[in-house]
Amino acid sequence: MGQLKITQCPMEGLYVIEPTVHGDSRGYFMEVYNQKEMQAAGLGMQFVQDNQSMSTKGVLRGMHFQKQYPQGKLVRVIRGRVFDVAVDLRAHSKTYGRWFGVELTGENKKQMYISEGFAHGFLVLSDVAELCYKVTDYHRPGDEGGIAWNDPQIGIAWPEVGRLHLNERDQKWEGLGKP
């Protein structure tokens, strides 16, 4: 049996990944990524860059995507709690415009793999949260697009956290529209 439990989400291209955590009085050990196990589950992506971000409670980052150079993302939280969301932007997908969300925490150690063709965002639920994510293509300034985090056509059910904090750019994205 592998060290990673890989579960296909209700939308093709999204996976929740749960590592086997080996703990004792000293702490714990876990594999967060195993290429052989990912390939055995049909996930043959190759990562080229690791990113990390820190945000405070109520920060909503997203919903972002890359226009010309899409990225697959393997997202995990190493401290705190977030509600992590992906929206299907693949024009010919039967789930176009649908969203899926999962709570990722430093305690539950779940990860979400988001394939190319999805918008991604998250809302910080704890006082502070740190995210780490691997991506399948390099960051290219000027290639980022976005959709409105509160688009009624999508209807993301964000958890209540009090006051939201969005940067100016994330407040200005337009709705999804038609594929």
Structure tokens at 127: 């006082």
Is-catalytic flag, 92? no
Which of 133, 138, 139, 165 is an active site residue?
133
- For residue 171, the SS3 value is helix
Which of 15, 64, 113, 120 is an active site residue?
64
Q: DSSP secondary-structure letter at 79?
A: E
Handedness of CA 102, 51, 176, 94 (dihedral sign): negative
Residue matched to tokens 């988001």: 114
CA distance 143 to 54: 22
CA distance 22 to 60: 32
Report which secondary-structure segment, H or E, holds 118.
strand 118-124
Is-catalytic flag, 64? yes
- For residue 132, the SS3 value is strand
Q: In what order do the strands lie in the sheet with 60-66?
A: 99-105, 81-88, 118-124, 60-66, 144-146
Residues designated catalytic: 64, 133
